[in-house]
Structure 1
Amino acid sequence: MATTAPPPLDTRFVSLDLIRGIAVMGILLMNIVAFAMPHGAYGNPCAFGGTGPADLAVWATNFVIADGKMRGLFSVLFGASMLLVMERAQAKGDNPLLTHLSRMTWLLLFGAIHAYAIWFGDILMLYAVVGMVACIFRGMAAHRLLALGLSLIFAQAMLFGLMMLGIMTLRSQALAPDASADIVNAWADLLAQMGPMPPDEAARDLATYRGGYAGILGVRLGEEFWMPLKANGFSIIETLGLMLCGMAGLKSGFLTGEWERADYRRQLRIGYSIGLPAMVILAGLLLASGFGPVAQIGLGWALKTLFNPFVILGHASLIILWLKASPESRLGARIAAAGRMAFSNYLGTSLVCTTLFYGYGFGLYGEMSRAPLYLVVLAVWILMLLWSKPWLDRFRYGPLEWLWRSLARRELQKIRR
């Protein structure tokens, strides 16, 4: 991966916007389950939400093409955009590190508000903290960034593999004839956490999220206070690796569309020929296993983390090839606009979905099985595409992008065109 020359300050890379737009839309393919159902349903379709053929089919489809891949694309683009902002700050004579840290500090605050006041599944806090670390590596050459990023992703997969071995040991000890009560109870607790929800726990969860805002906020600030931090903690190493890969992708010109079409086609073939068959096999093995804890961690976490980068590479290559083939696409322009407003669309999706599913809105939490949820996803996608481009035709930034930029620069930015 050769490093390209820095782009002009006023360059707008449509490829970055288009990939980011598809990523922010695609994240909802997985997040919709966490909005609409108890937490366990996200990783285990048998935990809640129906196990009919249609429900399992949409789970398997998302596992193969979206689960971890859309968040991965988003992380890659975050790393690329972060580096681009720092390079442009330096070119203008500003302190790139202070510019970056100011942006990450405000993003951390936005993420905390999102996690505790709106929805527990926030990734902004994770991005802010990891982004502060990722900037340390900004001076590395593209090939070194890529090598380090992939090594970190591999390390994350190995850590999940160690977790799987620990769970296998616990299972073996719990099933032994002379197992202690503590070991048996620990195994039972793990089965309850990762398997079908016990009726009393499911009833309590449904009552909470079908209730009013004050009750939900009380749970978030009480018994579930650490949930967003724990969930993010599991993917810190992988997220850093993906951000570094994004920085490499920017420096090499891959993400900015500077490679030849034949190069993107080659990367597409490599990514999909390795990643997609592996994901199909993993999905089949998970279904056959019944989603036991060992299978979930080993197949759904460790091995999926190992093969996700191949699918991410295929997705990114396919998107850029589409842009090269149809640079004037109206649909592409609308998706790119959604990508330019990814911050507003990400938080806006949380506001729309929590209002739709939680008790202080329409109260549909736990009422829909998995497959029909994707009609909601389609509706939210249409909303994103309908409002993003008209907004940007009139304004320079999305509303939250403008607020973030103004706070980070400590002065109101011009928003009207």
Structure 2
Amino acid sequence: MPDARLAAARIASVDALRGFSLLGILVVNIAFLASGYRMAGMAEPGFDSSLDWVVRWLVTLFMENKFYLLFSFLFGYSFTLQLDSAVRQGRAFVPMFLRRLAGLLLIGLAHAVLLFPGDILTTYAFVGIALLVLRRIGPKTAVVLAVLLTLMLALGFLLLALLAMVGLDTSGTVAEGTAEAARSDTALGGMFWQIISEHMRKLSLIVLLRVLFQGPAVLAACLIGLAVGKLGALRNLSAHTVALRRLQWIGFTVGLAGAFVYTQSAWNHTVNKFLGEAVDLVTAPLLAAAYAATFLRVLPYLPRVGRALAAPGRMALSNYLGQSLICSLIFTGYGLALVDQVSPGAEVLIALGIFAVQVLYSHWWLKGHRYGPVEWVLRFLTYWRRPTGERHRDRNSTQAA
């Protein structure tokens, strides 16, 4: 295969992996968009059947805290593509990327206030600054930093677990959690101003969590993506079959074992909650890596699946925001106000339906446009000029949101 075709196939596979990640993110996020109880870390009291619990367990075990790491890995990987593209075109990368991050921050803040306080775009905006500072480090150094960040976070949670074991109250009571969830439900099912006020209140409560925990975890995943991008490891996957197999073996054994411990801590409480978080911080990246390795190895045998997922992957930012918008119209007072009225199983089915619509929409949109609608806005903010909107096949500019 000529080099140009190899590059196109590589980017298409990354787009497809990004689309796959979007699906996983939606299946996880929809529960938090649909229920004040889930946002408070509790199960919805109205859904207590065996099927409800099976769905909760499966989503937590196989998906929670895995797909946002995979998406973050792709953010770091795409950072290297943007950097290489700027060098080829003779552009000043730093001011361009800072404008891009400013655009992400503005879009993320609007998303968090209007639709979903669990927004990750604002985190990417700040993590992007760290990537900019670290852009010249080598792949090995990037991996070492990622491992150190992960271990430091895990040690932080181990300390919290130790404090809980010796009797220090490190969390709210069940009564407090129930009151918080009920308050959230009332606000989310209310008028526009009530929803906005609730989102703002939640943001004020989780900002410290973002700074101390999610930010470093996202940065660690981005650094792995940076290392992979610098090594060019995705240019010829057949040359890395042994490494991919090793990732699968380790990820599906250690990763699933850690996910089981985390799920026990989340729902059965037979494991200390903070201990479960510590285990998950170390093992979730391994399971996410196993997913990516398996997906990339299987993809050449499923070209139709790859083509289907590549389109929403190319419009990742638009689809990520679209997911929150659609869910808000279903579950909050913006639309049907079905907050805490939909079972976990039905939520998963709704998520699959939303994503199917996004696949069709993305293919339709990209027939006549080079970029997704929000990607167009972000590109305008990045280059400070109007992007060309026509469809063409230069895939080297593909970038993660």
Q: Give runs of aligned pairs for residues 103-252 of structure 1, distance below 5 A.
A: 103-169=100-166, 172=167, 190-192=172-174, 197-198=178-179, 201-221=180-200, 223-227=201-205, 229-233=207-211, 234-252=213-231
Alignment partner, residue 308 of structure 1: 284
Q: 1:381 is aligned with what amino acid?
A: F
Q: Does structure 1 conserve the Cα–Cα contact (< 8 Å) formed by 2:258 and 2:284?
A: no
> In structure 1, which of residues 12, 15, 20 is the aligned counterpart of residue 13 of structure 2?
15
Offset at residue 244 of structure 1 (A): 0.2
Alignment partner, residue 79 of structure 2: 82
- Distance across 1 between alignment mates of 2:43 and 2:6: 51
- Seen in structure 2, the aligned counterparts of structure 1 residues 119 and 287 have a Cα distance that, compared at 3 Å, is closer
- Distance across 2 between alignment mates of 1:137 and 1:390: 38
Q: Does structure 1 conserve the Cα–Cα contact (< 8 Å) formed by 2:184 and 2:198?
A: no
Alignment partner, residue 320 of structure 1: 296
> In structure 1, which of residues 65, 74, 77 is the aligned counterpart of residue 62 of structure 2?
65
Describe the superposition over 1:314-370 as per-residue Cα deviations: whole angstroms up to 9, x where unpaired.
Answer: 0110111022333xx222112111111100000011110001110120110111222
Structure showing greater Rg: 1
- Distance across 2 between alignment mates of 1:346 and 1:395: 18
The answer to whether structure 1 residue 55 and structure 2 residue 33 are counterparts is no
Question: For structure 2, which runs of at least 5 residues remain unmatched after alignment?
Answer: 392-401
Alignment partner, residue 95 of structure 2: 98
- Seen in structure 2, the aligned counterparts of structure 1 residues 10 and 41 have a Cα distance that, compared at 3 Å, is closer
Question: For structure 1, which runs of at least 5 residues remain unmatched after alignment?
Answer: 174-185
- Seen in structure 2, the aligned counterparts of structure 1 residues 374 and 157 have a Cα distance that, compared at 3 Å, is same
> In structure 1, which of residues 264, 267, 273 is the aligned counterpart of residue 247 of structure 2?
267
> In structure 2, which of residues 242, 263, 267 is the aligned counterpart of residue 283 of structure 1?
263
- Cα RMSD of the aligned pairs, angstroms, is 2.5
- Distance across 2 between alignment mates of 1:29 and 1:380: 10
- Distance across 1 between alignment mates of 2:45 and 2:93: 47
Q: 1:296 is aligned with what amino acid?
A: K
Describe the superposition over 1:232-271 as per-residue Cα deviations: whole angstroms up to 9, x where unpaired.
Answer: 2231111111100011121223344433434322321222
Q: 2:256 is aligned with what amino acid?
A: L
Q: Look up the SS of the partner of 1:372 in the other structure.
A: helix
- Seen in structure 2, the aligned counterparts of structure 1 residues 78 and 359 have a Cα distance that, compared at 3 Å, is same
- Distance across 2 between alignment mates of 1:275 and 1:255: 22
Alignment partner, residue 399 of structure 2: none
Offset at residue 310 of structure 1 (A): 1.0
Could you tell me the TM-score, scaled by structure 1's length?
Answer: 0.86
- Distance across 2 between alignment mates of 1:331 and 1:250: 24
- Seen in structure 2, the aligned counterparts of structure 1 residues 79 and 49 have a Cα distance that, compared at 3 Å, is farther
- Distance across 2 between alignment mates of 1:46 and 1:102: 41
Offset at residue 225 of structure 1 (A): 4.5
The answer to whether structure 1 residue 331 and structure 2 residue 310 are counterparts is no
Alignment partner, residue 275 of structure 2: 298
Q: 1:295 is aligned with what amino acid?
A: N
Q: Does structure 1 conserve the Cα–Cα contact (< 8 Å) formed by 2:39 and 2:181?
A: no
Describe the superposition over 1:19-62 as per-residue Cα deviations: whole angstroms up to 9, x where unpaired.
Answer: 11111111012111111001x42574546453322122112212
- Distance across 2 between alignment mates of 1:11 and 1:376: 31
Q: Does structure 1 conserve the Cα–Cα contact (< 8 Å) formed by 2:27 and 2:352?
A: no
Q: Look up the SS of the partner of 1:226 in the other structure.
A: helix
Offset at residue 10 of structure 1 (A): 8.0
Q: Look up the SS of the partner of 1:360 in the other structure.
A: coil
Describe the superposition over 1:115-137 as per-residue Cα deviations: whole angstroms up to 9, x where unpaired.
Answer: 11222111000010011112222
Offset at residue 206 of structure 1 (A): 2.0
Q: Does structure 1 conserve the Cα–Cα contact (< 8 Å) formed by 2:188 and 2:198?
A: no
Could you tell me the TM-score, scaled by structure 2's length?
Answer: 0.89
- Seen in structure 2, the aligned counterparts of structure 1 residues 322 and 309 have a Cα distance that, compared at 3 Å, is same
Q: Look up the SS of the partner of 2:243 in the other structure.
A: helix
Q: 2:174 is aligned with what amino acid?
A: A
The answer to whether structure 1 residue 29 and structure 2 residue 7 are counterparts is no
Describe the superposition over 1:356-392 as per-residue Cα deviations: whole angstroms up to 9, x where unpaired.
Answer: 1101201101112222211111111111111112211
- Seen in structure 2, the aligned counterparts of structure 1 residues 385 and 157 have a Cα distance that, compared at 3 Å, is same
